Structure 1
Amino acid sequence: MTLRTRLLRNAAVVGVSTALLGITAPAATGTTAGPADSLAWADCEGATVDPRQQCATLRVPLDHADPDGPRIDIAVSRIPAEDPDARRGALLLIAGGPGGSSLDDPSGKGQKLPRQVRDTHDLIGFAPRGLAPSTPVTCGLDHGDLATSKLRPWPAPDGSVDGNMATARRMADACARNGGELIKHLSTADEARDIDLLRAALGERKISAWGVSYGTYVGAVYAQLFPHRTDRIVLDSVDDPDPTRVARAWLAGHEQGVEDTFPHFAAWASKPGNPDRLARRAADVRPMFLRLAARLDREPIPWPGANPEELNGNVLRQALLDGLYRPSRYPALAELIRAARRGTVPPAPEAPPEEVLQNVAAVGAGTLCNDVAWPTSPAVYEKGVAESRAAYPLTAGMPRNAMLCAAWPYPPREAPVRITDRGPSDILLVQNERDVATPLSGASRMREALGRRAVMVTVDSTGHDAYLANGNACGDRVVSRFLATGERPDSDLYCR
């Protein structure tokens, strides 16, 4: 898959980031897996996985409040510890999303871990509830509503949210019509309870975890609900845990994330000798982009085979947001900008199969909308969009706009989990200074909420996903040492 394909392809709803009846429960009150929940490991299907990787299926309650009721499947994978004599336990890899899977991560990113971690830990992956090959869910959305610029709620060029509210009602109706009972039981707290059933089925008294992006919120919620089941917890590229907004805070964070990251892109895009150079000076890149987006608002360029089949201002803005996820995407973003300035488009981006997009969108929608109640009044979004457009023109009001959760038909079944400092001090946060999706400001709020339980490593780097990805050697060393030995810095650390 090319960089351009990855840049503009459709993905999860937000790229984006639940208490037990409003009360933070001690670990003893959490569900536990019984003997019938043992795992039968077998070879995995697919040619791309490491031959050592094994797969199994865990059966969990559809509704954790009804443990004897209907059950659903959770697909699980593992690569056993490479040195059985040195084995310490299991390291759970928690993907981002909602709508991401770590099922293949023991064979993929897990193999980047230092040998000492791979020697001592089974690497565990899973597909969260609702996401195939776990028992899948779908909303059956219209094809046009699977466009990323629809799943993320970009307002009209004049700032109107009327179209977004109509889209929200149409998409929410489809989820209610096609999502069945499972769509009502997708939430971060449900995923955390599934994880504890997985921990018990693995035979582990405690479990370690490496959560990335939305996976950091999953990891934090797990550590809050089951604090004495945790061993070593790494939260990498950290979500804002605001219990009053949850995913609304993650969406809102994009406006600051773009502002934090855009200067790095502008410096790259104006560097002499860069074959993808867009301007002579970094200061010229922003006004050039804003003029181009405004022109495309008025005069979209046909884009056969894309979704939507035109390059308009909001598609370009979404491409900017996607392109800032990591510096390796900058050339593809620059290629699109150059083409648009000429009045042309590159080849249409290749999208994953529609069945996959439908599944990912449904998992994202169910989780984001079930975690917390969203405002239903258009006036709330009109006010937020107007304020955001004025202060953050690069994101044009999208981060405070109405997504399908504004019309979600199901009230949350429980209040959001409030992340606190109650529990063992066994959490390490690692956060890039310039992160478009999970900005440093939100990570700092997670650090504050966790208090004495956590230490945070802030990395002088650009991009989403820090550890062993877009961070730096200093940050990687600190995290690797913690996973291998349990040793953390005595206080928060800045890795230049």
Structure 2
Amino acid sequence: MSKLTGTTLAALAVTVLSALPAAAAPEHHGDDGLNWSACQGQVDPRQQCASVTVPLDYNDPDGQQITLAISRIPAAESGLRHGVLLTVPGGPGGSGLNLPSSAAKRLPPSVRDRFDLVGFDPRGAGRSTPVSCGLDHADLAMVNLRPWPAADGSIDGNIATERRIAETCARNGGPVLRSISSANEARDIDRIRQALGERRLSAWATSYGTYPGAVYATMFPRHTDRIVLDSNDDPDPSRVGRGWLAAFDQGAEDRFPDFAKWASAPDNPDRVADTPEQVRPLFLDLAARLDHSPLPWPGANPAELNGNVLRETMLESLYADARFPDLARLMLAGLGRRPLPAPVLPPEQALQNTTAVSVATLCNDVSWPSDPTGYAEDVAADRAAHPLTAGLPVNVMPCAFWPFKPAEPPVRVTDRGPANVLLAQNLRDPATPYRGALKLRAAFGDRARMVTFDSGGHDAYLANGNACGDAAVTDFLVTGRRPAEDVFCPAD
């Protein structure tokens, strides 16, 4: 969930390929035969929608089928058309059906002219064959979905909550929920490619999407063209989602100084302190005070501003500079200098769906330890080392109580395949930290290059106004030529 986090893959043999010609155009085989029609909702009027049928179980390809909702905006210049650029959403559990509409607003004409922009809702999500766990309203609070320990560091409440979520999802999710995994998302992507009539496809994957994107490049290397992985997860196949959750401790530490500088600027109407150095202790002291003396917050879930609600807001606010005011205003309210803002709750049906896909991905990809003692020890150590995140990153998740074993082992990302992968990565990303991106870069070896943006926040390409980084990614998409070596782009 940008980021409840999680995933893994199927270990398949990979054909060793030499690099493909940089500008070779993938073949397109006439009409795709899909029934395209207008999309629902407020989207770019050029966006069309259709559905693709895929097997519930790829071991039984002729058995029960499910549907994937897909969308496209055709290339702006048919004479320049190179192929398909598939937008792979984050999450896990995020909807990608309308990503072509949002991408069309940001991508430069040189990219828009050459690619059909294609989006999809992953298996189980959105308008694809959907899943839901049917969780209680209280369990949908982000401070429960993300396992923040109690004020004293105890995880007894987390154990009870995560066990209940696991049991409810297992009982209500059905066979589609059990089929969700990152490896199956990669297989679904290849079915989308086939349905579109494309020999190869390019992709722009973000956040969690970088993992199934990397898995796709590993499992189906001959069908890849230009692969951009933006805001990258550590591909460690022994941990996958566990590793991504654990990365929040370093990610928050990397990113918080950006907030502290902003929150102490003299011209900031939401200023919380006089100097950057004062912001961190102010935040920690306020969170500790709210742990013991929460403020009533009618309409919120939970209906109070407590320390963990503040910490959760902090984590979400670090994703983008535009979200900094959310944290500052909540801090000012907690300090008694502002009224509490009106709570904003996502539609419950959508949250049920996103949560179910996220939990299923995390838990179906790889087995998690089941001994609560180990989690308690890890939380105690992590709270001391990283007080901003207070033990959350290493705490217990529903996967510790998941009754289903992963259907297959994780896929190990390797350097075998065409040299057609470009990683885009912010230096101070709170959710997918730089150190994890370096591990994905190492796993790909010479298949990949990395463009590092001296920027903070989650999402790199076309997200920070970094002209150097944006130009490097755009040039790769337009020409197929990667930088000769990794690139570091200073802040503009």
Q: What TM-score does the superposition give when structure 1 sets the normalisation length?
A: 0.93
Contact 2:3 2:431 in 1 (8 A): no
- Provide closer, same or farther for how the CA distance between residues 362 and 272 of structure 1 changes in structure 2, counting only shifts above 3 A: same
Contact 1:462 1:471 in 2 (8 A): no
> Runs of 5+ in structure 1 lacking a partner?
1-10, 29-34
2: CA distance, partners of 1:471 / 1:243: 34
1: CA distance, partners of 2:135 / 2:80: 49
| 1:40 counterpart residue number | 35
| 1:288 counterpart residue number | 282
| 2:273 counterpart residue number | 279
Contact 1:382 1:401 in 2 (8 A): yes
Q: Which runs of 4+ in 1 moved over 6 A?
A: none
TM-superposed CA distance for 1:152, in Å, is 0.6
Q: How does 1:313-462 map to 2 (within 5 A)?
A: 313-342=307-336, 346-462=340-456
Q: What amino acid is the match of 2:380?
A: A
Contact 2:8 2:241 in 1 (8 A): no
TM-superposed CA distance for 1:489, in Å, is 1.0
Deviations 1:439-466 (A, max 9, x none): 1011011111110000001111111001
Q: What amino acid is the match of 1:273?
A: D
Worse overlay, 480-489 or 251-260: 480-489
Contact 1:18 1:414 in 2 (8 A): no
| 1:80 counterpart residue number | 74
Contact 1:79 1:106 in 2 (8 A): yes
> Runs of 5+ in structure 2 lacking a partner?
18-29
| 2:221 counterpart residue number | 227
- Provide closer, same or farther for how the CA distance between residues 471 and 27 of structure 1 changes in structure 2, counting only shifts above 3 A: farther
Number of corresponding residues: 479
Deviations 1:221-248 (A, max 9, x none): 0000001110000000111111110011
TM-superposed CA distance for 1:349, in Å, is 2.2
TM-superposed CA distance for 1:343, in Å, is 7.9
SS at match of 1:93: strand
1: CA distance, partners of 2:380 / 2:356: 29
Q: What is the RMSD of the two structures over their aligned residues, measured on CA atoms?
A: 1.9
1: CA distance, partners of 2:175 / 2:328: 44
Q: How does 1:19-418 map to 2 (within 5 A)?
A: 19-20=9-10, 22-26=11-15, 38-46=33-41, 48-342=42-336, 346-418=340-412
- Provide closer, same or farther for how the CA distance between residues 18 and 335 of structure 1 changes in structure 2, counting only shifts above 3 A: closer
2: CA distance, partners of 1:16 / 1:182: 17
- Provide closer, same or farther for how the CA distance between residues 232 and 66 of structure 1 changes in structure 2, counting only shifts above 3 A: same
| 1:8 counterpart residue number | none
2: CA distance, partners of 1:471 / 1:260: 20
| 1:32 counterpart residue number | none
2: CA distance, partners of 1:339 / 1:112: 35
1: CA distance, partners of 2:216 / 2:249: 28
Q: What amino acid is the match of 2:340?
A: P
2: CA distance, partners of 1:352 / 1:314: 19
1: CA distance, partners of 2:250 / 2:8: 26
Q: What amino acid is the match of 1:226?
A: F
TM-superposed CA distance for 1:376, in Å, is 0.6
Q: What amino acid is the match of 2:40?
A: E
Deviations 1:330-356 (A, max 9, x none): 112101100001187523322222111
SS at match of 2:99: coil
Contact 1:433 1:440 in 2 (8 A): yes
Q: What TM-score does the superposition give when structure 2 sets the normalisation length?
A: 0.94
1: CA distance, partners of 2:7 / 2:465: 19
Contact 1:210 1:233 in 2 (8 A): yes
- Would you say 1:493 and 2:487 are equivalent positions? yes
TM-superposed CA distance for 1:56, in Å, is 0.5
Contact 1:27 1:225 in 2 (8 A): no
